[in-house]
Amino acid sequence: MPEESTWLSDEMPTPPPRTRLERAVTPLCDAHPDLCGLVALDDSLDAFVARYRLAEMAQRTLDVQYYIWEDDMSGRLLLLALLEAADRGVQVRLLLDDNNTNGMDDTLRQLNAHPRIEVRLFNPFSFRTLRALGYLTDFARLNRRMHNKSFTVDGVVTLVGGRNIGDAYFGAGEEPLFTDLDVMAIGPVVNEVSEDFERYWESECVSALQNVLDIAGDEIAGRIRMPDHWYEDITAARYKNKLDSTAFASQLEEGTLPIIWAKTRLLSDDPRKGQGKARLHTLLPQRLSNVMGMPERQVDLIASYFVPGRAGVAQLLRLVRKGVKIAILTNSLAANDVAVVHAGYARWRKKLLRHGIALYELKPTNEGIHPVHDRGLTGNSGSSLHAKTFSIDGEKVFIGSFNFDPRSATLNTEMGFVIDSAPLAQQIHHRFLRSQRAAAWRLQLDRWGRINWIELRDGQEIVHKKEPRTRLSQRLLVRLASWLPVEWLL
């Protein structure tokens, strides 16, 4: 009878060889047990480089989950990167919210036809062309969207944060339209993101592409190839050439990125929130409050949309009465692409200011070049500011997809990292201070209780009596919307 050790060695499968990323990441993680390595990505080009280069380095799996994937230059470049990875043998899973895939059905069919790519859609529309008809017949479901954003490679590196996929998020146009923030992470939290992706991938809210679109079994044969103009785009070629010019690109290749090591955990909504079936205690706002704890000194909050509601305002004022200093940076009306959502914030400004809460509104980044268009109530959350982050007492940070509004709290699914890191909290704080000084209007009440917008220009204070860079029609729309009982939709 053979010895037990021999029997085990004969029967146990040989573990697969480590991937390139595993070989790079494992020694770093072993040197920092129980901690996660984090790199904050606030530069738009670096954020694209991270995704593109990691897709190039993938050898085993790519799990990709997004609310918006634009059919534009950067969106196509990243889809080509996924396709090339699949051609190398990488298993690619692409999970998209269906609210923003309009016009992409043929592209998704092509990708899904690849034997190593599978596409699934969250809360898909039955009407593929006239999608608005779906809201007439199935509003309760279609009003709930998957706002999560993650990009996980070989199960060892992940990117989580506020960015969607598109030119505006990566500075790929003449000027970057959105100011945003992601985190690249290694360590234990990557397993949490992978498990969460699996939970969404298998959820009842998600449908395989072949169950949504008509796909013939023999529709596509041979090697999958996107349209020729995708490969021949001169602008895309120039943008790709810029990638090598960033320090981030070389640091990523050489393993010399400035990593912050900290305890990090993922918070993510139950995907059943997409059906209205998630229990209250499982929703991200409640869990976020439990994990972050009660602030004692300072809260810095950066939010593309800030709609606190009556309960949120009451909570903020309770903190103020306990001596907590609160500063909030959000979009101005001039920078906001959904005026009705701005109304949900504007109605509370005077009350917040009267109680000592500091309010700052970001100026539009592309004045006179790329006007911000109102995208409607269920638009893409696009504005000059798109980041969603806050820090508490200079010690804890949240970075993720969660907008501080009722839609994120009760309708859309959300995710993000809670990070125990004073250095990262200081980075966020300094980012906040820079925005206050150079890129935002500071709000204050005058002696008659009216809001003034204070701008620093060449060392001088300029006082605006009306919302700067806005039209009368915009201001009237906000005033009208603030009277309507639609805050729960915002």
Reply yes or no on whether 154 is catalytic. Answer: yes
CB burial readout 50-86, b (16+ within 10 A) else e: bbbbbbebbbbbbbbbbbbbbebbbbbbbbbbbbebb
CA pseudo-torsion sign 234, 235, 240, 242: positive
Instruction: List all residues 6 or more positions away from 77 whose beta carbon is below 8 Å from its beta carbon.
Output: 52, 236, 239, 240
Reply yes or no on whether 43 is catalytic. Answer: no
Reply yes or no on whether 351 is catalytic. Answer: no
Nearest 10 degrees: CA dihedral of 418, 421, 427, 429?
Answer: 70
Of 342, 363, 388, 396, catalytic: 388
Of 43, 46, 154, 270, catalytic: 154
Reply yes or no on whether 388 is catalytic. Answer: yes
Of 63, 149, 337, 405, catalytic: 149
Of 273, 342, 363, 386, catalytic: 386
The Cα–Cα gap between 235 and 272 comes to 41
Reply yes or no on whether 322 is catalytic. Answer: no
Of 233, 374, 393, 420, catalytic: 393
Of 147, 342, 363, 396, catalytic: 147
Reply yes or no on whether 386 is catalytic. Answer: yes
Instruction: List all residues 6 or more positions away from 12 whose beta carbon is below 8 Å from its beta carbon.
Output: none
The residues assigned a catalytic role are 147, 149, 154, 386, 388, 393
